[in-house]
A and B are shown apart, each in its own frame.
Chain A
Amino acid sequence: AAGVIQSPRHLIKEKRETATLKCYPIPRHDTVYWYQQGPGQDPQFLISFYEKMQSDKGSIPDRFSAQQFSDYHSELNMSSLELGDSALYFCASSSPGLGIYNEQFFGPGTRLTVL
């Protein structure tokens, strides 16, 4: 069965650079969630989208922005990168609709290292 795809899987950037992380949800899934997992920490919710509109926002820095496109894939844009942004970024998708019984399926994550 198709799973959530994230690209790239690994990314190395310098401080103050920008990065774009991509998430391709499971086909026919219309909701995407982004989570950040720092070293030795639990995943923290960043932002979510439903039908291309932002549905919720968590502890996402102002330097980060995200959007969901017409094909339901989502991109997380990160600017002015800081050392503390080094983390594993998970994307999850669920569907259809914004139902509370919908399970979130997680992608493999993008490991971002900021030097």
Chain B
Amino acid sequence: AQSVSQHNHHVILSEAASLELGCNYSYGGTVNLFWYVQYPGQHLQLLLKYFSGDPLVKGIKGFEAEFIKSKFSFNLRKPSVQWSDTAEYFCAVRQTDSSYKLIFGSGTRLLVRP
């Protein structure tokens, strides 16, 4: 069965530090890849997505992610985090040859200290 792994469950950073959250998936076929963010008390919001083309994807709020097919990875990065980035981040995968459902990772809670 397809699965998504997020290696960091909790990350604590100071403002202006750089961020990288890992995401690996287990599926050999073609996939769509997503990063969602969930701010405290709010719903899931799409940060960025990869369908095809340039493996370096830029999203909202200065986030970007790189799809490395050989490593089955889609890591999220931000050069300089802000206190307002405190949230939970979910990586999600969607197989393109079957259902359109999303398979989520377990999430990473990011705390940015002012």
Contacts and interface: CB of A to CB of B under 8 A. Distances in A.
Given A43-B90, A101-B51, A48 B101 contact: yes
A72 interface: no
Contacts of A90: 43-44
Interface stretch (A20-28, A61-69, A78-86, A103-111): A103-111
A41 interface: yes
A8 interface: no
Where chain B touches its partner, the secondary structure class is: loop
A45 B94 CA distance: 11
Given A100-B32, A100-B94, A48 B44 contact: no
Contact of B43 (A58, A101, A106): A106
Contacts of A108: 42-43
Q: What is the size category of the interface that chain A forms with chain B?
A: 20 to 34
B72 interface: no
Interface centre among A31, A45, A90, A98 (most CB of B within 10 A): A45
A42 B100 contact: no
B45 A41 contact: no
Contact of A106 (B44, B96, B99): B44
Given A33-B100, A42-B106, A102-B100, 19 more contacts: A42-B4, A42-B105, A43-B90, A44-B104, A45-B102, A45-B103, A48-B99, A55-B100, A56-B100, A90-B44, A92-B102, A94-B100, A100-B94, A100-B100, A101-B32, A101-B51, A103-B49, A104-B102, A106-B45
19 contacts: A33-B101, A42-B105, A42-B106, A43-B90, A45-B101, A45-B103, A48-B100, A48-B101, A55-B99, A58-B101, A90-B43, A92-B102, A94-B100, A100-B100, A102-B100, A104-B46, A104-B102, A106-B45, A109-B43
